[in-house]
Amino acid sequence: MLKLPIYLDNNATTPLDPRVLEAMMPYLTEVFGNAASRNHPFGWAAEEAVDYAREQIAKLINCDSKEIIFTSGATESDNLGIKGVFEMYSQKGNHIITATTEHKAVLDTCKHIEKLGGRVTYLPVNEQGLISLEELEAAMTPETILVTIMYGNNETGTIQPIREIAKIAHKHGALFMTDGTQAVGKIPVDVIADGIDIMAFTAHKLYGPKGVGALYVRRKNPRVKVTAQMDGGGHERGMRSGTLNVPGIVGLGKACELARLEMDADSARLSAMRDRLERELLTLEESYVNGSREHRLPHVTNISFKYVEGEGLMMGVKDLAVSSGSACTSASLEPSYVLKALGLSDDLAHSSLRFGLSRFTTDEQIDYAINHVKEAVTKLREMSPLWEMFKEGVDLSKIEWAEH
């Protein structure tokens, strides 16, 4: 029997892989030492586990294990990366470049930087969700210290041209940072080949536990440093104080190891499943994929169904755990700023669904999802005055709506 609801919100978080849990268990029980305790075996065992995890992580992203700074998650990593560079490199300049479709952890951190007197350029994206390299080049100044552009977008899965962006940043003497939260463990990310200087990512998007993440900080060519944002014991090469979350770190390490070994197979299976889901849902009239279909993560699709309202649609697909482009929790509707940045009208942004597949998603679940969404959209359209007008050939943009 198919268990309902079906979880297809894996860009929000993924379930913990049982193999990751198994690796973590001893560190939640008998091996409880503080990794910073240098004078007894309890500490040594914990430190050894942390070092092993660093190796596992380093192998996945092709860096040196010393270049991994453990944090509480991607939000902290984004904060540490951006604020840390802003403070550390204030002698050189105060300009940061990012994009309008970044995660709030980056955008709100940049807003904070502006309050501190920094200057931030927010690059727009095209209808595919991609930034323009020409616009990036034009935005670079001698004061630009950091370019921070996400690897893969959380709402649409769109993958930015990371290598080209890194080249432009470096050509102008700036550092390149990326929020790799959705990409690490899903597609090959190689910090050397990609030219990444700083990268934020987190365990719970790749079948690891919540509450642990990392910041990759390059140690050579160039040697990058970030100013610590918390004062304390000087852990993590002085960049992030606080007792290490040993079980979490062990989990992140194991999750990275599994990702490295299984990424190719997972990616092939998930993209085939995603493509089937997408193909079937696009047989509904007036449905559109949001973001680039060419440059995107293998497990994500974001589809708008015109003439149905987002919250009504969410209610209609109650057997699926998915995200909608509509943040309709208050009287004032706020459509997704990411979809808006792609040029979608408010109503199309509202009526979008994001499907995020995982290692644990089955064909049977996808079959169910296809039928469930088709039924809900069809039913809501039969109930929708806008659909009826569209079918009668009425131009909805010509109607004078009584806004309320």
Partner 1 sequence: MAYSDKVIDHYSNPRNVGTLDKSKKNVGTGLVGAPECGDVMRLQIEVDEATNTITDAKFKTFGCGSAIASSSLATEWLKGKSIDEALAIDNMEIVEELALPPVKIHCSVLAEDAIKSAISDYRVKNGLPALELAHH
47 binds partner 1 (CB under 8 A): no
Q: Is 231 or 400 the residue whose CB approaches partner 1 more closely? A: 400
Q: Closest CB to partner 1 among 25 and 321?
A: 321
Q: Are 344 and 290 in contact (CB under 8 A)?
A: yes
Q: Find the shortest distance in angstroms from Cβ 146 to partner 1.
A: 36
Q: How far is the CB of 390 from partner 1 (least distance, A)?
A: 11
Q: Does 9 engage in binding with partner 1 (CB under 8 A)?
A: no
* C-alpha triplet 68, 82, 196: angle, nearest 5°: 50
Task: Confirm or reject binding of residue 393 to partner 1 (CB under 8 A).
Answer: no
Question: Rg of the Cα trace of the chain?
Answer: 22
144, 181, 326, 361: residue in contact with partner 1 (rule CB under 8 A): 326
Which residues on neighbouring strands pair with residue 217, listed in sequence order?
A: 198
Neighbours of 6 (CB within 10 A): 20
Q: Tell me if 339 sits within 8 A of 125, measured CB to CB.
A: no
The whole-angstrom separation of Cα 168 and Cα 315 is: 45
Contact 182, 58 (CB under 8 A): no
Nearer to partner 1 by Cβ, of 134 and 382: the residue is 382
Could you confirm whether 328 is annotated as catalytic? Answer: yes
- Closer CB to partner 1, 133 or 328, in the complex: 328
Stretch that binds partner 1, among 8-16, 268-276, 358-366, 378-386 (CB under 8 A): 378-386
Q: How would DSSP label each residue in 158-170?
A: BBP-HHHHHHHHH
For the bound state, the minimum distance from the C-beta of residue 395 to partner 1, rounded and expressed in Å, comes to: 12
Of residues 337 through 356, those in contact with partner 1 by CB under 8 A are: 345-347, 350
Distance CA 204, CA 95 (A): 32
**For residues 372 and 298, what is the distance between their CA atoms, to the nearest angstrom?**
22
Examine residue 124 and tell whether it contacts partner 1 (CB under 8 A): no
Q: Measured between alpha carbons, how far is residue 35 from residues 51, 101, 237 in Å?
A: 10, 38, 14
Phi, psi of 224 (to 5 degrees): -105, 140
- Least Cβ distance, residue 380 to partner 1 (angstroms): 8
Minimum CB distance to partner 1, residue 9 (Å): 16
> C-beta of 336: minimal distance to partner 1 in Å?
13
Distance from C-alpha of 264 to C-alpha of 271, rounded to nearest angstrom: 11
Which range, of 211-219, 235-243, 263-271, 380-388, touches partner 1 by CB under 8 A? 380-388
Cβ distance 371 to 319 under 8 Å?
no
The interface region with partner 1, picked from 4-12, 59-67, 158-166, 326-334 by CB under 8 A, is 326-334
Min dist. Cβ of residue 347 to partner 1 (A):
4
Q: Which of 328, 337, 367, 374 binds partner 1 (CB under 8 A)?
A: 328
For 287, list phi and psi in degrees, rounded to 5: -120, 145
Binding status of residue 398 toward partner 1 by CB under 8 A? no
- The token pair at 352 is 């979008």
Nearer to partner 1, 39 or 330 (CB): 330
Token look-up 């198919």 returns 2
Listed in sequence order, the residues at least 6 apart from 364 whose beta carbon sits closer than 8 Å to its beta carbon are 2
Q: Which of residues 298-317 bind partner 1 (CB under 8 A)?
A: 307-312, 315
Binding of partner 1 at residue 403 (CB under 8 A)? yes
- Cα distance between residue 343 and residue 125, in whole Å: 9
Going from the C-alpha of 127 to that of each of 56, 157, 353, the distances in angstroms are 37, 13, 17
Helices 41-61 and 246-281 sit at what angle, rounded to 10 degrees? 30
Tokens representing 255 are 């999750």
Nearer Cβ to partner 1 (188/312): 312
User: Pick from 128, 132, 227, 384: which binds partner 1 (CB under 8 A)?
Assistant: 384
Answer yes or no whether residue 395 interacts with partner 1 by CB under 8 A.
Answer: no
Q: Is 284 in the site for partner 1 (CB under 8 A)?
A: no
> Counting contacts by CB under 8 A, is residue 330 touching partner 1?
yes
Q: Amino acid identity of 362? A: T
Q: Which of 63, 110, 256, 328 is catalytic?
A: 328
Instruction: Identify residues 232-271 at the interface with partner 1 (CB under 8 A).
Output: none
Residues facing 289 on adjacent strands: 303
Binding status of residue 138 toward partner 1 by CB under 8 A: no
Cβ 75 to partner 1 shortest distance, Å: 25
Would you tell me which residues interact with partner 1 (CB under 8 A)? 307-312, 315, 326, 328-331, 333, 345-347, 350, 382-388, 396, 401-404
Query: Would you please indicate which residues are annotated as catalytic (active-site) residues?
Result: 328
